[in-house]
């Protein structure tokens, strides 16, 4: 998921935004994947720490490539053995967390997109004295669940910022496209947009099936020509939306959350008005680094408060600067 600040492409350095180098994301029903990585200049495991990163990634969603790139770089920099696994199914993500607890890892970094479903396994980790940090999703729930720190965007702030920008441009009837049912982060984004533009309408799609996203959106746009903005909550969904808009001859404008290379290019080409960036590379990097620092020194990054990695706006005014980083998979 990506955030902006104000209109002219200034990065929103929200008050609490990170002093670091610092969607949503998607969900669906695809199979989980597991990956062990780490090492580099500092060999994997040289610190003696093994950190498990567990997300709700839908395999194939380019957003998570940036999360993993950041986490892998942090593991390389700090000599941490990183064990990455994911499953978009909430109950299966909970099992992955429990598996990490059972294997006695040094720390756990996890997304908290479905807090109720993950509460039991996170508690099992804290009961076992394994430090947990949250990132990407669950900013309002991480403390209650027992996570020590949090890295991500405030999705309500991000959605509201996007909505204000739409309202300033005269938008009356945005369509907010939710690609993963039950995601607290995605719901918060759309609620934020609606707080600024009361005429906002939500549309649920299956983000794990691009063809279904296109057909559902096309049908909606063909049926309702009053839709003047489409708000997608992930870069791959924005690409689907462009196809649907063309098929439906829609005149709506498109904005999105998050970036991938294709979406960034579409911003430069004027097909997407702007993106709201949450800097996933930074989320992955900080999730691992914060656990390393906690284990090594007892450090508490954020001083008990969430560390924000967004929102910041990416648009025609700053895309030339950001596009090269996007192509390197670091922004």
Query: What are the tens digits of pLDDT across the range 206-217?
Result: 998 999 999 999
Distance of alpha carbon 53 from alpha carbon 282, whole angstroms: 14
Mean pLDDT of all residues in 297-317: 95
Which range is least confidently modeled, 38-52, 65-79, 227-241, 247-261? 38-52
Tell me, what's the pLDDT at 306?
Answer: 97
115 close to 182: Cβ distance less than 8 angstroms: no
Q: Go through the domains of the chain in sequence order and give each one's CATH number.
A: 50-153+280-300 (3.40.50.2300), 155-277+316-327 (3.40.50.2300)
Tell me, what's the pLDDT at 21?
Answer: 32
**Collapsing DSSP states into helix, strand and coil, what is residue 4?**
coil
Q: How sure is the predictor about 36, in pLDDT bands with cuts at 50, 70 and 90?
A: low
Mean pLDDT of all residues in 14-41: 41
Q: How sure is the predictor about 22, in pLDDT bands with cuts at 50, 70 and 90?
A: very low
214 close to 41: Cβ distance less than 8 angstroms: no
Tell me, what's the pLDDT at 42?
Answer: 81
The DSSP result for 102-150, as a single string, is: HTT-SEEEE--SSHHHHHHHHHHHHHTT--EEEESS-TTTHHHHT-SEE
- CA-closest candidate to residue 23, choices 182, 175, 234: 234
Question: Which parts of the chain fold into alpha helices (H)?
Answer: 63-78, 90-102, 115-127, 142-145, 155-168, 184-196, 210-223, 235-248, 261-268, 280-297, 319-327
Which range is least confidently modeled, 40-44, 82-86, 206-210? 40-44
The tokens for 140 are 């309002």
Share of the chain above pLDDT 90, in %: 82
Q: How sure is the predictor about 243, in pLDDT bands with cuts at 50, 70 and 90?
A: very high
Q: How sure is the predictor about 24, in pLDDT bands with cuts at 50, 70 and 90?
A: very low
Distance of alpha carbon 111 from alpha carbon 81, whole angstroms: 19
* Tens-place pLDDT, residues 127-170: 999 999 999 999 999 999 999 999 999 999 999 999 999 999 99
Is the pLDDT at 283 greater than 90? The verdict is yes
Is the pLDDT at 1 greater than 50? The verdict is no
What is the rounded (10 degree) CA torsion for 182, 110, 312, 168?
Answer: 10
Is the pLDDT at 328 greater than 60? The verdict is yes
Is the pLDDT at 229 greater than 80? The verdict is yes
Tell me, what's the pLDDT at 182?
Answer: 83
Tell me, what's the pLDDT at 41?
Answer: 56
CA 23 to chain centre: 5
* Tens-place pLDDT, residues 89-114: 999 999 999 999 999 999 999 999 99
Tell me, what's the pLDDT at 79?
Answer: 97
């Amino acid at each position: 998921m990506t955030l902006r600040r104000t209109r002219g492409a200034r990065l929103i350095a929200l008050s609490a935004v990170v002093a670091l180098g610092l969607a949503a994301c998607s969900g669906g029903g695809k199979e989980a994947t597991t990956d062990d990585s780490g090492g580099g200049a500092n060999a994997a495991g040289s610190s003696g720490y093994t950190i498990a990163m567990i997300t709700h990634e839908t395999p194939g969603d380019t957003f998570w490539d940036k999360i993993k790139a950041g986490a892998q770089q942090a593991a390389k920099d700090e000599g941490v053995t990183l064990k990455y696994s994911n499953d978009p199914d909430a109950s299966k993500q909970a099992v992955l967390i429990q598996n990490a607890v059972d294997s006695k890892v040094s720390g756990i970094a996890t997304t908290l997109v479905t807090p109720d479903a993950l509460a039991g396994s996170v508690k099992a980790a804290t009961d076992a004295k394994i430090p947990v940090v949250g990132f990407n999703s669950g900013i309002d729930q991480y403390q209650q669940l027992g996570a020590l720190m949090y890295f991500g965007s405030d999705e309500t702030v991000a959605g509201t910022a996007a909505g204000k920008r739409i309202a300033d441009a005269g938008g009356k009837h945005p369509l907010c496209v939710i690609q993963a049912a039950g995601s607290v982060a995605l719901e918060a984004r759309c609620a934020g947009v609606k707080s600024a533009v009361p005429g906002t309408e939500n549309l649920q799609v299956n983000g794990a099936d691009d063809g279904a996203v296109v057909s559902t959106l096309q049908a909606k746009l063909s049926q309702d020509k009053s839709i003047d903005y489409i708000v997608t909550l992930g870069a791959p969904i924005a690409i689907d939306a462009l196809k649907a808009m063309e098929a439906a001859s829609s005149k709506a404008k498109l904005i999105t959350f998050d970036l991938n290379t294709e979406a960034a290019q579409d911003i430069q080409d004027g097909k997407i008005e702007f993106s709201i960036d949450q800097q996933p590379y930074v989320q992955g990097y900080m999730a691992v680094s914060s656990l390393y620092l906690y284990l090594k020194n007892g450090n508490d990054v954020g001083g008990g408060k969430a560390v924000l990695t967004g929102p910041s706006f990416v648009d025609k005014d700053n895309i030339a600067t950001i596009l090269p980083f996007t192509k390197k998979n670091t922004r």
